[in-house]
Structure 1
Amino acid sequence: MPLADRITFDEAAATARAEACEQILTTAHSRFEAEQEIARGLGGQVDADGLASFGFWVPELQDMRVPSGDIFLEILSPEEPLDLGRAHQEIRFERLYVPTIRVEGHAYSCVRGMVAGNRDQVGDFYALVWRDAEDQWHRILDPLAMSLPFGAMAPAELYDVEAMLAARGDSAYWAALAQDGEPAKLGPVSNILQIHVPTATAGGTLASLTRQFERLAEREARGLPMDPADQIYLGYEAVQLLPVEPTTVYEAGPDFWEEHDGTDHGVTVSLLRPDTTNWGYDNVIAGMATVNPVLLESGRPDELVDLAAALHNFPGTPKKLIFDVVYGHSDNQGLRVLNDHFFAGPNMYGQNLAYQDPAVRAILLEMQRRKVNFGADGVRVDGAQDFKYWDAGAQVLRHDDEYLQSMADVVQEVAGTRYRPWFIFEDGRPWPQEDWELSSTYRAVIEAQRDEDVFQWGPLTFAHNTPFLYTFWLGKYWRIRECLNSGSNWISGTSNHDTLRRGTQVSPKMNINTRLGNTRMEILDKAYDNPAAHMLTYVALPGVPMDFLNAMARASWGFVRNQDDRYGVKVVAEEAISLRWQVDEYSYMIPGNFTRLKALGFETRADLARFCTFLPALVEVTDYDLEDIARLLNTTDPPLAGPHYTPQTLKQVARAWMDDMHDYCNIGHTLGSLDPVQSNFALSLRDFRAARPWLRDNYGPKDHFSYIEPLEGRTIFTSLRHGPDGEQVYSIIHMEGKETGDFDPLRLKIPGLEGFKWTCALRTPGIGEEYESGPLIMKDSMALVFTRPAPE
């Protein structure tokens, strides 16, 4: 049936929506409360009777005095079935313009006959359009869209969200959490596995990650043995995904949705399956309520609900799901898809957001609410120190702690259960002030918020941690002492997406702890998957430990983003040093690795290494002038490998680097070489912590933590902790330096250590299972845990 015959404008329903908006604006206690209520009706939504309702916040049309008669809902319907699994397709879309009703800065339309997308079918697409005085059409995209098969820069798909959520497979999990009266408040977990979806499985999608957990659940239920490739996913109470929202697109194109041969009744669209590589933090704010199509094997947002269900239905202890959200900034590409009212000016990442605008504030919180309703138990807020506003009266920039509190106050509803998620904030204020590493308390949000279970990333988890440098642990001792007394509400651990990336940017000429391995790759791998550091985190320190999957799999990691055109070469120059840390000659020569760079002429690692030595220096001395960089690279003697250098071929090399490194970072490359002894130890350590939730608490008056003196060329921490049932847990941890002489760990002069009945509960690799007690020699990265029950 032609689109014009299928679609009918429901003027009465649209008028009712507009009048309701007017009434809210008139009667609400504040403009912010009004915008919060209005935001619930924004975006494209479909009800059980098939009525499709659309609401847009369009203050720019109000600013430009665009009359209502020139504002329309644009509906686009494919004339043939779309295949969201195809890399490229040319599709003719029927087009229909439907009237809207505008109330100040809001516009509404309601129609019947639209096809809503679901797991089994692709729905109709939509946007708002307006016509100027020259009869030129302009499109406004929906920032609150719930399905964006072609990214945030393309029209949205009308999606049956209620049907998707009603069909979820973890309703029993949520029913068990329900409380009468007030919403349930979800609290902290025992530990977290941080996952970057594209590198977490060979498939690189949410669907493939779901299958991985479903397979593990089946094996767990049957009591089947687990190999190291399984164990690295196990023993965690929660999974935290790096951001799964739509990210930036290719700066220089092509767009995933490109139109030609358009008329008022139809348009031909060249469609590309989104294929950008990104670490997740380069968001454009638009689309934050839904899922990045790059992560969707089927193109259906249902895959995120499926993952939540697979985790919540895991046998034994259900695994919880934590979303990582980025509302502290927008990439500059956000200017393409959001109106100017969203922004408060540029910053180092792109654009600040106008948190003080009531509508912006309300829309951001509504995006968050819709996203968490996919089924998250917790929310990690990226860069909370960046939530700022300009106080014009005081002429000072202030942190918007009230907005951060509002984020934690949002009430979610999943499968009929109302709840408030557990909240974690990354906040290193006064970063980026030069002395931030010294002056940051990592407690600003904890102390400002009302909830007692609000968490922050702790000082050993924040960026710029380099545990492969000599004296790192002793140099951080003052921070460790802080952890003992105030770390119960900190996320702890040294491996995460940011610390591992920063580690690869350190010059290998610095004072490297060569006892960690024989090569730079071994040193880096062991630094972030170090049994002694794990022992420190899981046994000695309070807080909630977090591990990064790539570190636990001893896979590579870096700043992976292939969308840059203007600054792509500069980014690669900054990342070039990671070649020395993460890629050896053998890894480079494997046929499936670095295929794009090899095709450009870098046949060996030595070829690429020489180029990577010249590039950073030339970027600096030329002040990033691509013409000069290319000219100078072409004059080297002997000539550099690679193509003849021009600004364009430099960009090709940068793109090849990013794409090849992204593929190289997939953990599938390293699973076969994992050490079963290390994997067994790490899993046993996680189980030990889970069985003793009190280890999360701060140190009490009887607890002890120190290092053995005199140092004599080594850093050895000792910890004695007391549980509420009287159990004692004693750990001795060789963090770095020379091996010890023969000594007895249980005979050190530590108050409370005296006596007998100690049992050796955990031994790091390198200490034989036959060791129970008595003298031994401890080397770098060795550690022991002893337990003693309460006196009878």
Structure 2
Amino acid sequence: MNPEHDCRLLREPTDELLAWHDDVTARHESAFEAATELTDRLGVHADGDGNARVGFWTPELVEDGVPADDVFLDVLTPPEGVDPGDTDVRRVEFRRERVPLERRGEYHWGVVAGMRPGTRETLGSLYRLAYRTDDGWETVSDPLAYSVPFGAFAPAEFYDVERLDETRADREYFRTLGTDAERVSTTDDDGLPRVDPAVSMVEIHPGTATESGSLAGLAEVYEEIGRKRRAGEELEPWERNFAGYDAIQVMPVEPLTENEEEHDFWSVEAESDDAVTAAVSRPEMINWGYDIVVSAFSAPNPAILESGRPDELVDFIAACHDLPRPIKVVFDVALGHADDRGAELLSDRYVLGPGMYGKHLDYTEPTARAVFLEMQHRKMDFGADGIRVDGAQDFTSHDPETGEMYHDDAFLAEMDRVTQEVAGTEYRPWMIYEDGRPWPREDWELASSYRALVEQHPHSFQWSPITFAHNTPALLTFWATKWWRVREIGEFGGHWLTGVANHDTVRRGTQLDPTVEFNQSPVNPYLGDDYPETLDEAYDNPASSMLFHCFLPGVPMDFVNANMRAPWGFVRDTDAEWNVKVVADESNFLFWQVRDEDFENPEFFRRVKDLGFESREELRTFMNALSAAVDATDYDLDVMAAMLSAMDQPLGDGLSAGDLETYAHAWMRDVHDFANLSAWRDAQDDERTRLSLAVREFRHDRPWLRADLREDDYFTYRHPTEGTVLYYGLRTSPSGDEELLFAANMEGVPVTVSPESLAADAVDDENAPAIPTDGWEILLSAPDVDGGAAVELANADAAVWRRVP
């Protein structure tokens, strides 16, 4: 063993660390304020002298009476040359060293020499806390780790994030942040710059956006778009679906839960006091991103890191920042809950109890509260420009006096105040909340204002009511019945994210039963000739795109899967308990997203075909029966298997619960592959994607459109509808040098419109301004609309006229 690399506790710097701890606790009367300062040093950090500064909050060890002398840092150093990006399972022998730590209150601290820091090129030492018990050794994961190359349930990696920050390719982007008026126009009360909102944004799921399903693959897409833009080259039709935005909201990139029956990326095969031999691999999981375990939240999800290195997240962000028109990156943060398996990794002090999505976190526990905020801080310091807080209405705490839960707006305010520091520049990000309170109250869709957080934090944004989860534009009368909500966007939507397509709405669309004859509106017959075409058109059409990008206030957001007219569903193979139910809930996916020719394509649905399903119809029959069995048995897998064994289906007549789980796993994998956007690149229409890109560029040329409608602007719909829901309106630029006239057939039979007809229609409205009838020219129109004095707008067609007064 090389003495230069032996891990050992350094006495003098450890004593200085303990003295600092004592000073912090003495200076603060508030437990939360003290914890806020202490949590900054939790985890394992390179200290600048080649050593590792170590800190763990361990209340459970103190409560259980574990002697301080029995607590160690368990350091596992790999041999040189181990590739953390390799998804093949291989046996690796790690050198083990246990280093004693020092206890102060509920914390353990130490400065340790000899640990190998991870870098872009090198897998660093793995670590976890370990303590001796009468039954052997127990371990504690680091919830504030920066890297978990083998998943959140494996030891974390000591990673040199300071070096990562010092070598990032977009340092100049951050150095100039505070002086760049195009990116920052306001500062907070304490003088820190606050990143400006985007003009328009696209939501992307990294796991299905490219063939590799990695952040590296997504970076390559934007690097090539940037190269073509600089060279003046034409973008491919599929590339246009990623372009024209100045922000990307990436669905969560945090470490995820794992299916104990399917996933094993770290498996100890032999161990001693000096060595651990483990079978390891980079995680391969499919998940939409929201099933986080909270522990290691600060680290990137290794399943979307092609290299297994956290650098890949920074490289993707740098690629976006390096475009001719830089693209902001917005992280989607789901700290409102934890998957059930998160309880295996977190102290009980982090968890209040069971919740709607797994575990309800305890935001009132002072140190846990500080750790959650530190997790956010560390994750955002990878270089994000903005943060979208998933399900802000779910951040609730318990009031012991009333015995009721309340919205913890004080914690959301703390999230808003978190300061980022990247490349030496301090700033605060663009803040976006998804908040549908009083959801889940039954009347939430009527009662929610979608403005609660904007009113508390006027610089922040919220998802609009049209953007929130339960919108179904594939159904007839959607745009008629949602008019009151659309009208609100015009009145006070300047701080809303708008648009109908996102990861939730498209998924909800695929869950609709199109055969229902009562209790819901019928499927819009004008959108398409079959269900997949109808769904594609519902979430990506000229009328809705031009409504949000060319006329209404706020920040329009699209979903890249909808842009690509590609499938999207609820993809996750990480849930051992509810996997079959999740698949059963997606039974209508076969109506909405799969054509016969898709199923017949040998590249698609290979796993369920291997199980014996030979046609889409046969598969649909089984899926409908599976869904019915879930409801009939209250999700009793054994009874479900017996019921389904009695029907004629390819899985046989002796089905077990395990067979249903095998089927569900195969289905999830097949849908994940089916939804991968690389499979749909050649299917893109040149004319459609060209118009969509032009619509987004129209918005960028007129950033003033983001503001609420003014008194002399006008927005309405024609009524009586007479078979067509016609939205139209007039907007004038603040300088008065441009007028825009918008008209869209949102749904219904074709209608002929012109500036003259719209002006005549508005005469009957005493609140309408006089719409000029001369000097108009069409700037944008749906591909099949012929420009002229009057245009015929079929269902989902739109036109925008421009006039210079």
Shorter-chain TM band: over 0.9
Q: Which amino acid aligns with 2:741?
A: Y
Aligned partners of 1:475 and 1:410: how far apart in 2? 40
Aligned to 1:276: 285
Q: CA deviation at 1:3?
A: 7.4
Aligned to 1:383: 391
Aligned to 1:186: 195
Is the Cα contact below 8 Å between 1:262 and 1:268 reproduced in 2? yes
Aligned partners of 2:550 and 2:579: how far apart in 1? 42
Q: Provide, for residues 732-771 of structure 1, a one-character-per-residue CA deviation record: whole Å limited to 9, x for no partner.
A: 1100011125766555333332241111111112113xx1
Moved more, 742-751 or 252-261: 742-751
Q: 1:784 to 1:643 in 2, by over 3 A?
A: farther
Aligned to 1:372: 380
Q: CA deviation at 1:83?
A: 2.1
Matches within 5 A, 1:332-371: 332-371=340-379
Matches within 5 A, 1:265-664: 265-315=274-324, 317-449=325-457, 452-510=458-516, 511-636=522-647, 638-640=648-650, 644-664=654-674
Is the Cα contact below 8 Å between 1:80 and 1:92 reproduced in 2? no
Q: Which amino acid aligns with 1:22?
A: D
Aligned to 1:775: 790
Aligned partners of 1:729 and 1:776: how far apart in 2? 16
Aligned partners of 1:653 and 1:520: how far apart in 2? 25
Aligned-partner SS, 1:278? coil
Aligned partners of 1:641 and 1:27: how far apart in 2? 67
Q: CA deviation at 1:279?
A: 0.2
Aligned-partner SS, 2:254? coil
Aligned partners of 2:59 and 2:374: how far apart in 1? 18
Aligned to 1:737: 748
Aligned-partner SS, 2:426? strand
Q: Which amino acid aligns with 2:452?
A: A
Moved more, 537-546 or 380-389: 537-546
Aligned-partner SS, 1:551? helix
Aligned to 2:766: none
Aligned-partner SS, 2:526? helix
Is the Cα contact below 8 Å between 2:725 and 2:745 reproduced in 1? yes
Aligned to 1:748: 760
Moved more, 681-690 or 10-19: 10-19
Q: Which amino acid aligns with 1:26?
A: A
Q: 1:642 to 1:490 in 2, by over 3 A?
A: farther
Q: CA deviation at 1:48?
A: 2.3
Is the Cα contact below 8 Å between 2:759 and 2:770 reproduced in 1? no
Is the Cα contact below 8 Å between 1:4 and 1:96 reproduced in 2? no
Aligned partners of 1:742 and 1:462: how far apart in 2? 31
Is the Cα contact below 8 Å between 2:785 and 2:792 reproduced in 1? no
Q: 1:107 to 1:702 in 2, by over 3 A?
A: same
Aligned to 1:175: 175
Q: 1:253 to 1:670 in 2, by over 3 A?
A: closer
Aligned to 2:61: 61
Aligned partners of 1:709 and 1:564: how far apart in 2? 49
Q: CA RMSD in A?
A: 1.5
Q: CA deviation at 1:165?
A: 0.9
Q: CA deviation at 1:264?
A: 1.3
Q: 1:254 to 1:667 in 2, by over 3 A?
A: closer
Aligned partners of 1:331 and 1:3: how far apart in 2? 42
Q: Provide, for residues 552-596 of structure 1, a one-character-per-residue CA deviation record: whole Å limited to 9, x for no partner.
A: 011111110001222111111111111111011110111111111
Matches within 5 A, 1:751-766: 751-766=769-784
Aligned partners of 2:751 and 2:394: how far apart in 1? 46
Aligned partners of 1:693 and 1:642: how far apart in 2? 60
Q: Which amino acid aligns with 2:232?
A: G
Where in structure 1 are there 5+ consecutive unaligned residues?
Answer: none
Aligned partners of 2:172 and 2:276: how far apart in 1? 46
Q: Provide, for residues 101-120 of structure 1, a one-character-per-residue CA deviation record: whole Å limited to 9, x for no partner.
A: 01111101211121101001
Aligned partners of 2:605 and 2:650: how far apart in 1? 18
Q: CA deviation at 1:640?
A: 4.5
Q: CA deviation at 1:253?
A: 4.5
Aligned to 1:118: 119
Where in structure 2 are there 5+ consecutive unaligned residues?
Answer: 180-186, 517-521, 763-768
2:219 equivalent to 1:207: no
Q: What's the % identity of the aligned pairs?
A: 42
Q: CA deviation at 1:47?
A: 2.3
Is the Cα contact below 8 Å between 2:339 and 2:359 reproduced in 1? yes
Q: CA deviation at 1:174?
A: 1.2
Aligned to 1:672: 682
Is the Cα contact below 8 Å between 2:613 and 2:650 reproduced in 1? no
Aligned-partner SS, 1:40? helix
Is the Cα contact below 8 Å between 1:241 and 1:323 reproduced in 2? yes
Q: Which amino acid aligns with 1:393?
A: E
Aligned partners of 1:657 and 1:422: how far apart in 2? 38
Q: Which amino acid aligns with 1:523?
A: T
2:721 equivalent to 1:704: no
2:268 equivalent to 1:250: no
Is the Cα contact below 8 Å between 2:333 and 2:389 reproduced in 1? yes
Q: Which amino acid aligns with 2:749?
A: K
Q: Which amino acid aligns with 2:528?
A: G
Aligned partners of 2:662 and 2:496: how far apart in 1? 42
Q: CA deviation at 1:16?
A: 1.9
Aligned partners of 1:220 and 1:484: how far apart in 2? 33
Q: CA deviation at 1:623?
A: 1.6
Q: Which amino acid aligns with 1:624?
A: Y
Aligned-partner SS, 2:41? coil
Q: 1:5 to 1:371 in 2, by over 3 A?
A: closer
Is the Cα contact below 8 Å between 1:18 and 1:107 reproduced in 2? no
Q: 1:29 to 1:492 in 2, by over 3 A?
A: same
Is the Cα contact below 8 Å between 1:198 and 1:204 reproduced in 2? yes
Q: 1:78 to 1:787 in 2, by over 3 A?
A: same
Aligned-partner SS, 1:495? coil
Q: CA deviation at 1:5?
A: 5.8
Q: Provide, for residues 52-89 of structure 1, a one-character-per-residue CA deviation record: whole Å limited to 9, x for no partner.
A: 11100100011111111000010111246322214101
Aligned to 2:519: none
Q: Which amino acid aligns with 1:42?
A: L
Aligned-partner SS, 1:516? coil
Is the Cα contact below 8 Å between 1:634 and 1:640 reproduced in 2? no
* Aligned length in residues: 782
Aligned-partner SS, 2:330? strand
Is the Cα contact below 8 Å between 1:168 and 1:306 reproduced in 2? yes
Aligned to 1:229: 238
Q: Which amino acid aligns with 1:320?
A: K
Aligned partners of 1:470 and 1:607: how far apart in 2? 29
Q: Which amino acid aligns with 2:633?
A: T
Is the Cα contact below 8 Å between 1:607 and 1:641 reproduced in 2? no
Aligned partners of 1:424 and 1:31: how far apart in 2? 29
Q: Which amino acid aligns with 1:367?
A: M
Aligned-partner SS, 1:261? strand
Is the Cα contact below 8 Å between 1:610 and 1:640 reproduced in 2? no
Q: Provide, for residues 640-664 of structure 1, a one-character-per-residue CA deviation record: whole Å limited to 9, x for no partner.
A: 5568521111100000000110111
Is the Cα contact below 8 Å between 2:759 and 2:773 reproduced in 1? no
Q: 1:360 to 1:742 in 2, by over 3 A?
A: closer
Q: CA deviation at 1:538?
A: 1.2
Q: 1:635 to 1:755 in 2, by over 3 A?
A: closer
Aligned to 1:692: 702
